[in-house]
Chain A
Amino acid sequence: MKKNLKQKIVIIIGVLVVFLYGAFFGFDAPRLGGGQPLLNQLTQHIHLGLDLQGGVHLILQVQVKEAVGTETDNTLARIEQDLKTAKLTISQVTKPDPANHPQTMRIEGINPTQSNAVRSLLDSKYSNEYDISGGSDNSLTVTMKPNIEKALDDKTVQNAIEVIRDRVDSLGVSEPIIQQYGLGDNQILVELPGISDLDRVKNIISTTARLSIHAVVGGPYPDEQAALASVGGNLPSDQELVHGSGSMATGSDVDSVYVLQRVAIVAGTDFRSADPGSDSNTGQRTVRFTLTNEAGDKFYEYTSANVGHSMAVVLGGRVKEVANIESAIRDSGEIRGSFSTDEVAILSKMLRTGALPASLNYLEDRTVGASLGADSIRQGITAAIVGVLLVMIFMLVYYRGSGINADLALFLNLVILLGFMGFSGATLTLPGIAGVILTIGMGVDSNVLIFERIREEMRAGKAPSAAVDQGFAHAWTTILDTHVTTIVSAAILFLFGSGPVKGFAVTLTFGLAANLFTAVYVSRVIFDTHVNNLKTGEAVSI
């Protein structure tokens, strides 16, 4: 019996040490030499939610239909080509409802004598990805298979997540969260702690600016009319008017207009890599780029034939820079222009990783100011300390000696909970702090149940050790039932909730799980130790 008790005490001390370690250091090696106050260690290892440290929270929806539309556009072109090659006559291939049903195409006006041939050609080449069904009026409907569409949706969302992650890197956020959100609605959750400039975040995330280099026909002109006049009042279909941007190198031509060749010499996908750089003479920010081999050949061909002419770098629909071709360029070059730091970073990233696969809608955005977060921490901790003290004092007054027992168990409960937060890297939110406070209130319930039962048993005339034994045995059933039901509702909160609410479910669940250990096991050991040391005839202080 006594040996058994010693073993249990060793287990409890072991648990205490492990979770204390977890609370202060998590899984990292301790750095005690650094002269860091222990309190800092504690706060560093517990992740704070956005509501406590301030930051930006966004929910984006990827417009996956756009990606499906692009895919079916390509297929549509291939079908037309294939039918033409096979010399099969149709009147047209269309998309009846490109906005809402981009996955559906219709082949119309099929020559009735060739309808079997058309059908078998489509079946042989496209039936892996598409469902093909016949209509009565010499038409066929080609629809992307739902599983293929789903896979494409998922790929698009994953792609968008990669691109957003890359772009967000340039903000220098320490622990951004960028992940799929919700259940199958193509949503992305972005959480950026410590950021408060929402506009800048949105610019960086959703810019779709494309970079291309065009041949300059003429310009700059002061306005569009002057530009039109220069081409005889009528713009040829292969040319376009492009405005200069305010932040151009010269800085003076805010309202200038250029006439450019519509087809770009090189465009988005021709770039192999790009890096931010700066001009060694002027210190201006630049973007150094490298082209793919194919594009490099094309570029070399063009530049060697057009030495002395100028080309325009167009970014986001505006001329960013106009450069004279001084000599033939093959596959690498440099774009100058007064870029902002963000622009250079994004541009370089974009040229490397490509643009977003589809546009994004903002479903929700929240910004929590850092001062509100700091207030919340202070208020949450005040409430927690007051709550704990009230409960502890009450237990001491009401149960006297056993109150110490309950308070010890309560303290250990908190240590385990903090240690768990440190080990798991779970996020502490303001509702999470509320969960800790609630754990105290509900956790002490186990002690109350047991103590009241022990009192009852003693009143019924049982000896201290028997009363303690019976008290624990009877209360245990109830304690288990109450914990299971609360953990059920916390688990459901965890599954359905998001952000702050999830944090609440986490602390509540682990607080209660730890409570099973502290209120039942630890409390029992303390009681047993106490009862063992009682002199004959002495009673338990309860």
Chain B
Amino acid sequence: MHAGPWGSGIEEGRESVELFRSVNVDWLGKKWYFLAFSLIFSVAGVISMASHWAKTGSPVPLGVDFRGGTQVEVQFKQAPDTEQIRQATAAAGIRDASIVNYDIPSHHEVLISLPEQHVESALDTGQQQIHNALRDKFGESAFEIRNVSVVGPTVGKQLEKQATLATLYSLLGMLIYLWFRFQLIYGVAAVVACFHDTLITVGSFALLDSFGFKGMEISLTVIAAILTLVGYSMNDTIVVFDRIRENLRLSRRESLADVVNRSINQTLSRTVLTSGLTFLTVLSLFVFGGPVLRGFSFALVVGILIGTYSSIAVAAPMLVAWQQWRAGSSKAAVLPAAKRSRV
């Protein structure tokens, strides 16, 4: 167990498994690579969001929660033929129905969506029509309606507003907490990193869609996942920041860049372990959690990878960049002089 990153045990005679025992990577020296990597992904996300906007009028594929309209999830006994379903609905005079296979093909499930109807008193006519059309074509026993969602325009708008506000308030709340616990620049750096994660995660939904993977939509639970990511990515960042603060107090002569590098290296095994473990649980959710949670766990799978990366590659370098900008060419580690820990 002496080779590679697996270090040897702590004391003689007993080996313990360790990752990254004494790594010494110059993370800040790679900041241009990081910047390029982040830019590529952010820009890819933004471009696919823009193209999605141009096509459909919303930057990301929205679930029925936000989009409004009717969505019926039907499970068939046999593998469904979407073309036949389309014929059935068309014959029944249902217009603009979108019919897609849902989730894993072996589940024989189909999502039938109708656009929003603007008459709220007649909110549910579509679902009955769909049911009748399918019954006439395939017979009552050939399918089962598993889930029906009908969302009117008022609720859709309301939810959209709530989701946006929730995300913004959550970022703001953390900025304030970090300002109080550390210093404003720490809060700003952490929030920028979180915003970067949110952007890339949301962008990945648009990206998937533009590569032809339909059905991964931003729903209410995906918003919950994104807010969780905000919290999670913040965790990672705080662990690094905490160590920077501690090291700054201990060694005031070192340059900030060195302190930051050392802090990242010291916390690296924790960062990788925790992300790995959380990633394991989220992956099990993605694989076993069923179609209802697919979007939710997908957002978490992407977000945890990006969140871990951003605490090392975005938040910490920002601190150094800010200090260098403040101090001109001088590299003395006088700034940012973090507040003393109050606990």
Contact = CB atoms under 8 A, between A and B. Distances in A.
Nearest to B168: A492
B273 A481 contact: no
Interface string B224-258: 10011011101100110011001000000000000
A448 B270 contact: yes
Interface residues of B, number: 78
A480 B277 CA distance: 20
A376 interface: yes
B273 A398 contact: yes
A510 to B, nearest CB: 15
Contacts of A51: 292
Contact of A492 (B11, B145, B146, B173): B173
Contacts of A426: none
A477 B242 contact: yes
A476 interface: yes
B192 interface: no
Given A376-B292, A431-B293, A445-B278, A365 B150 contact: yes
Interface string A444-456: 1100110010011
Nearest to B270: A452
A505 B128 contact: no
| Most A C-beta atoms less than 10 A away, residue of B144, B234, B266, B290 | B290
A485 B235 contact: yes
B39 interface: no
B239 A441 contact: no
B273 A448 contact: yes
Nearest to B343: A477
A506 to B, nearest CB: 12
Contacts of B297: 434
A390 interface: yes
Contacts, number: 245
Given A431-B224, A542-B10, A438 B281 contact: yes
A493 B128 CA distance: 34
B177 interface: yes
Contacts of A542: 10, 16
Contact of A452 (B165, B234, B273, B343): B273
B87 interface: no
| Most B C-beta atoms less than 10 A away, residue of A371, A474, A490, A497 | A497
Contacts of A375: 290
B291 to A, nearest CB: 8
B281 A391 contact: yes
Interface string B59-89: 0000000000000010100000000000000
A500 interface: yes
A508 B224 CA distance: 11
Contacts of B154: 61, 185, 363
B106 interface: no
A312 interface: no
B18 interface: yes
A142 to B, nearest CB: 30
A38 B258 CA distance: 57
B220 A501 contact: yes
Contacts of B284: 383, 386-387, 390, 437
B280 interface: yes
**B interface, by DSSP: helix, strand, loop or mixed?**
helix
A364 B301 CA distance: 30
Contacts of B178: 485
Nearest to B233: A485
Interface in B184-218: none
B270 A430 contact: no
A212 interface: no
B146 A383 contact: no
A368 interface: yes
Interface of A: 51, 59, 61, 182, 185, 198-199, 202, 361-369, 371-372, 375-376, 379-380, 382-383, 386-388, 390-391, 394, 397-400, 430-431, 434, 437-438, 440-442, 444-445, 448-449, 452, 455-456, 458-459, 474, 476-478, 480-482, 484-490, 492-493, 495-498, 500-501, 504-505, 508, 539, 541-542
Contact of A368 (B120, B147, B246): B147
Contacts of B231: 485-490
Given A182-B158, A383-B287, A474-B246, A369 B146 contact: yes
Contacts of B128: 199
28 contacts: A198-B124, A199-B124, A361-B120, A361-B152, A363-B152, A366-B147, A367-B148, A369-B147, A371-B144, A372-B147, A372-B292, A383-B284, A394-B280, A398-B273, A430-B292, A434-B285, A434-B289, A441-B279, A452-B273, A481-B238, A489-B170, A492-B227, A495-B166, A496-B163, A496-B169, A497-B166, A501-B220, A501-B221
B242 A387 contact: no
B282 interface: yes
A486 B73 CA distance: 34
A533 B180 CA distance: 42
A363 B228 contact: no
Interface in B268-322: 269-270, 273-274, 277-282, 284-285, 287-290, 292-293, 296-297, 300
Contact of B155 (A363, A386, A397, A455): A363
A199 B94 CA distance: 20
B147 A496 contact: no
